[in-house]
A and B are shown apart, each in its own frame.
Chain A
Amino acid sequence: DVKVTQSSRYLVKRTGEKVFLECVQDMDHENMFWYRQDPGLGLRLIYFSYDVKMKEKGDIPEGYSVSREKKERFSLILESASTNQTSMYLCASSSPSERGAVAEQFFGPGTRLTVL
């Protein structure tokens, strides 16, 4: 079974703090994604990565950055946390569809971040 783990289930930070959210997958997937999930808005893509050192902006990248130094690990960074970044953050991984896979995404348990 694919396993995607996230470093924290719950996190409370103060406005202006730098926040690191870590995600690790154990299935050798090339693709990794960060979403935020808010009630009534579904999942919105923040950043994604197709390979080590690669990153692409998603639909709502403002206020976030990412790092992918190793294939299995994808970090989301909030440079200066703000209250409007209070949300559930989900990490996902997938295989590339070019290899014949359907590129379905496997999700971690999520990190519920509260910024005070």
Chain B
Amino acid sequence: AQSVSQHNHHVILSEAASLELGCNYSYGGTVNLFWYVQYPGQHLQLLLKYFSGDPLVKGIKGFEAEFIKSKFSFNLRKPSVQWSDTAEYFCAVLIRDDKIIFGKGTRLHILP
């Protein structure tokens, strides 16, 4: 069955720390992957996406993610987080019929 698994439900970091949020997917078709972010009180928005080409994808606000096909992973990274990165992050995979399956989310809390 298709699924997306996010390793951490809640992550707390201090400002300037490095971030890596894990994501594994289970889907046998052509892989299109996303990370979405939801800042407090705001709507869900796209952080970055992978659909082909370079497996290292750069997104907004200094985030990047690496698609590793052999590991079925699409981990999100940022070398130095800021307080404003406090948000909930969702990994997602596009499956057939244009549907997207979302992971359960990781709440990231950055301490100032």
Contact = CB atoms under 8 A, between A and B. Distances in A.
A105 B102 CA distance: 12
Nearest to B44: A107
Contacts, number: 51
A104 B43 contact: no
B100 A105 contact: yes
A103 B43 contact: no
Contact of B49 (A45, A92, A104): A104
A97 B94 contact: yes
Interface residues of A, number: 25
B67 interface: no
A87 B45 CA distance: 19
Contacts of B54: none
A74 B70 CA distance: 39
Q: Which of A31, A40, A102 has the most chain B CB within a 10 Å cutoff?
A: A102
Contact of A102 (B94, B99, B102): B94
B51 interface: yes
Nearest to B42: A109
A42 B99 CA distance: 15
A106 B74 CA distance: 20
A102 B43 contact: no
A5 B97 CA distance: 23
B44 A96 contact: no
A42 B90 contact: yes
B49 A102 contact: yes
Interface of A: 31, 33, 40-43, 45, 48, 50, 56, 58, 90, 92, 94, 96-97, 102-110
9 nearest A-B pairs in the assembled complex, by CB-CB distance: A42-B104, A107-B44, A43-B102, A109-B43, A103-B98, A102-B51, A42-B102, A42-B105, A107-B43
